[in-house]
Structure 1
Amino acid sequence: MITLAVLGMLSLVACAKTADPIPPVQGVDLSRYMGRWYVIASIPTRFERGGHNPVETYSRNADGTICTWFRQRPDNFDAPVKLLHSTASVVKGSGNGEWRVRFFAFLSTQYLIGWLKPDYDQVLVVRDARDYLWYMARTPRVSDADYHAMLGRAKSMGYDIAKIRQAAQRWPEQTIENRVFAGTCP
């Protein structure tokens, strides 16, 4: 009897509807997309939690892959900068709106451009699993109206917006490293 109950539960789980795929933005101009993006809000990975001044930077490699650098200051604005490097490849047929990102040479994950402002000033990067999300902009701040519009977009894509956290951004950075680099003493 227990075996039948377990089999019944497994069949219900197998039949449960998974979330529909999120269609990526089509026709992304990668040359315009490259550069510095400030993380405004996210459903962060464990590597990003507590990050201050998070920034993602993209550049094209000679082989067509995309070099990505994620930088942040963990836990406070004065912490030393931590960097995470990855390499991305555009998924064929995606109109440059879907990438596969490889970390540590063995971990590969989905990167979907779910929404992109026509002037390439703001972007919403999502995943079909709806487990992570990144709202980024070319500036460290966006208007309240833009932020709330992003929440609406994320909700319409099936995200639980209660999980979205605003990133701590304060620029320019005022750290000892920057003062010394600028030629002044602390």
Structure 2
Amino acid sequence: MTRLPHLAFSLIGLGLLGGCAGVPSGTQPVENFELERYYGEWHEIARLPNSFEEGLSCVSADYSPREDGGVRVINRGYNAEQGQWSQAEGRAYFTQGSETAALKVSFFGPFYGGYNVLALDDDYQWSLVAGADRDYLWILAREPQLDDATYQALVEQAAELGFATDALIKVEQGDACPSPDDTER
């Protein structure tokens, strides 16, 4: 597995170059957020195009606690053209208190980007995540597939919030993903 600590290819690269860790204007992060319930693996169902995920499928993020009170973020994606998995490790911290799903995330140095959960299933099975502006958007789910009705409802919600949902890329998941053990390291 290729380790890319300098490249935030995943769900939360979100404007790292600009160091922007805010919330898109006119949106509101989820309140009464329970971080412990958010921990674990999430699969990327769809995303707006971005350079740090270009060519990646089978993208997932795993969230776990850090000793300093922050969140450890491990993002993985498969590059079929290169026949290998890539991974980046980052750290995230709340920006508006621990019950509001607005965080800042960094994959290198002191540069942070926004990670804002704008919609979340009551059972923490899917989420709609944005960066600091409307250039970054992800639909995530606990399972590699999301039912069409839920997916369409999230796309409609994102469109109502002003995101360019016509540009969403559906991400290959599930059976399309080789095991990391079956690919070159």
- Give the structure-1-normalised TM-score: 0.79
Are 2:136 and 1:136 aligned? no
Matched, 1:59 2:55: no
Deviation at 1:75, TM superposition (A): 3.6
CA drift of 1:166 comes to 0.4
Say yes or no: does 1:36 pair with 2:53: no
Return the offset for 1:22. Answer: 1.3
**Percentage of pairs with the same residue:** 28
AA matched with 2:31: Q
- Residue in structure 1 matching 2:104, options 74, 93, 100: 100
Q: How many residue pairs end up in the alignment?
A: 161
CA contact (8 A) 2:76 2:88 kept: yes
The CA distance in 2 between the partners of 1:101 and 1:153, in whole Å, is 24
> Partner of 2:77 in structure 1?
72
Alignment CA distance shift 1:175-1:68 (3 Å) = closer
Identify which of 25, 41, 47 aligns with 1:20: 25
Equivalent runs, 1:107-186 vs 2, <5 Å: 107-171=111-175, 173-174=177-178, 177-178=181-182
- Paired amino acid for 2:149: A
Letter in 2 for 1:52: S
Question: Could you tell which deviates more after superposition, 86-95 or 121-130?
Answer: 86-95
Report which of the two structures shows the higher radius of gyration computed on alpha carbons.
Answer: 1
2:90 matched residue in structure 1:
86
More helix by share: 1
TM-score (norm 2): 0.79
Give, in angstroms, the shift of residue 142 of structure 1: 0.8
Structure 1, unpaired ranges of 5+: 1-18, 180-186
Q: Which amino acid in 1 is paired with 2:79?
A: P
- Distance in 2 (alpha carbons) for counterparts of 1:163 and 1:94: 32
Partner of 2:87: helix, strand, or coil? strand
Alpha-carbon distance in structure 1 between the residues aligned to 2:166 and 2:131: 17
Residue 53 of structure 1, CA deviation:
0.6
Distance 1:154 1:27, change over 3 A: same
- When the two chains are superposed, the root-mean-square deviation of aligned CA atoms in Å is 2.2
Unaligned runs of at least 5 residues, structure 2: 1-23
C-alpha spacing 1:177/1:127, structure 2 compared with 1 (3 Å): closer
8 A Cα contact 1:43 1:133, kept in partner: yes
**Cα distance between partner residues in 1 of 2:53 and 2:179:** 20
Q: Per the alignment, in what secondary structure is the counterpart of residue 175 of structure 2? A: coil
Contact kept, 8 Å, 1:22 with 1:128, in 2: the verdict is: no
Q: Which has the higher contact order (CA 8 A, sep 6+)?
A: 2
